[in-house]
Amino acid sequence: MSTIVPASLDIRGIRLLNLAMDEALAAIDAALAAGQPTRISFVNADCVNIAAVNAAYREALATTDWVFIDGIGMRIAGRIMHQPVRDNVNGTDLFPRLCQSLEQQGKRLFLYGAQPGVAAAAAGWALARFPALQIAGTLHGYQPAGAEAETIDAIRASRADVVLVALGAPAQETWIARNLEKTGATVAIGVGGLFDYYSGRIPRAPLWMRRLGLEWLFRLIQEPRRLWRRYVVGNAVFLSRIGIDWLRARIKGSRPDKLVPRRTS
Ligand code: UDP
């Protein structure tokens, strides 16, 4: 039996590319080969909540070249809105495969963001597995106010092809929107807490929890005081917003999936 899977989704006004992980990686390779400046973000349920109240983030996402669909919340939203999600394309799973691909292509990677020492430790993780990977540089994400020009100069001087920006949403998306071209890099990707995981600063959920879509629960248990609002309140707010959109679509008498269909078997 075949299902119609849209090539892109619209969840709460955010246009998301409905790609499988392999396709996302191939698209990044193609952008690098063509030297095509490309801004990439991952959007999960928490990001949708931030976008609902932050106009600068909405604007940055609207001009982001590729927004990938991250997490179980988005999968549930897609199902409710009759827009099936193909894959969970998140930065944490993409990172090792991206490193491998950059190593093979001889492209240079810069890691910008997270607490002092964390980006360098994540680079160390990557080099231990991909020894020929070219790390153009690392820089922590707590630079003094007004130091943006110095940060851009450092990335430009490093001749990076790909910059991973780990400042959290929405700061990383607005940073990339302002600065990708100035850095001289081809691809910039907002990656949230990715360096925290690969540096070992924060443990990642075991595979069985990730497979069940429970990574958020694992993170909540690790840092309940910081994250309870994001996950406990946030998930409920997210689902009620999706529920309202579903109701609106029902009342209008049409499904919201007016986007280009893709047929898969
Ligand atoms: N961060 C930063 N500079 C800041 C604020 C945050 O470098 O001014 C980093 C923070 O250290 C963390 C990342 O941004 O590594 C965001 O982490 P969070 O857990 O919010 O990301 P998520 O993966 O949930 O988007």
Cβ of 73 closer than 6 Å to ligand 1, yes or no, is no
Peptide bond connecting 131 to the previous residue in cis, omega within 30 degrees of 0: no
For residue 176, the CA-to-ligand 1 centroid distance in Å is: 15
Q: How far apart are CA 92 and CA 198, in angstroms?
A: 8
Give how far Cα 224 sits from Cα of 2, 193, 206, Å: 42, 16, 18
pLDDT at 1: 41
pTM for the complete prediction?
0.92
Task: Give the HSE-up count for residue 32: Cα atoms under 13 Å, Cβ half-sphere.
Answer: 24
Q: Indicate which residue's Cα is closest to atom 1 of ligand 1.
A: 167
Evaluate: CB of 228 within 6 angstroms of ligand 1. Answer: no
Q: Going residue by residue through the chain, which has 265 residues, state the pLDDT in tens, using 9 for 90 and above.
A: 445 667 999 999 999 999 999 999 999 999 999 999 999 999 999 999 999 999 999 999 999 999 999 999 999 999 999 899 999 999 999 999 999 999 999 999 999 999 999 999 999 999 999 999 999 999 999 999 999 999 999 999 999 999 999 999 999 999 999 999 999 999 999 999 999 999 999 998 999 998 898 989 999 998 999 999 999 999 999 999 999 999 998 888 755 555 555 555 4
Evaluate: CB of 113 within 6 angstroms of ligand 1.
Answer: yes
The sign one gets for the Cα dihedral 99, 108, 165, 185 is negative
Return the beta strands (E) in 50-175 as ranges.
Answer: 66-69, 108-113, 134-139, 162-166
Q: Where are the domains of the chain?
A: 3-141+148-193+207-257
C-alpha 249 to ligand 1 mean position (Å): 35
CB of 111 sitting under 6 A from ligand 1: no
170 CA → ligand 1 middle, Å = 10
Nearest CA to ligand 1 atom 17: 193
Helix (H, G, I), strand (E, B) or coil at 217: helix
**Contact (CB, 8 A) for 3 and 264:** yes
Please give the distance of CA 190 from its chain centroid, rounded to a whole number.
Answer: 6
Close Cβ partners of 39 (under 8 Å, ≥ 6 residues apart): 63, 64, 65, 66, 176, 177, 180, 188
How far does the centroid of ligand 1 lie from the alpha carbon of residue 201, in Å? 12
Ligand 1 site-directed mutation target among 94, 167, 199, most atoms within 8 Å of CB: 167
Ligand 1 contact via 168 beta carbon (within 6 Å): yes
116 CB-contact burial (10 Å; exposed 0-12 / middle 13-18 / buried 19+): exposed
The residue whose CA has the least distance to atom 8 of ligand 1 is 142
Residue listed under structure tokens 């630079």: 143
Cα(112) to ligand 1 centroid in Å equals 11
173 CA from centroid of ligand 1 (Å): 12
- Terminal Cα distance for the chain, rounded: 6
* DSSP H or E run through 240: helix 234-252
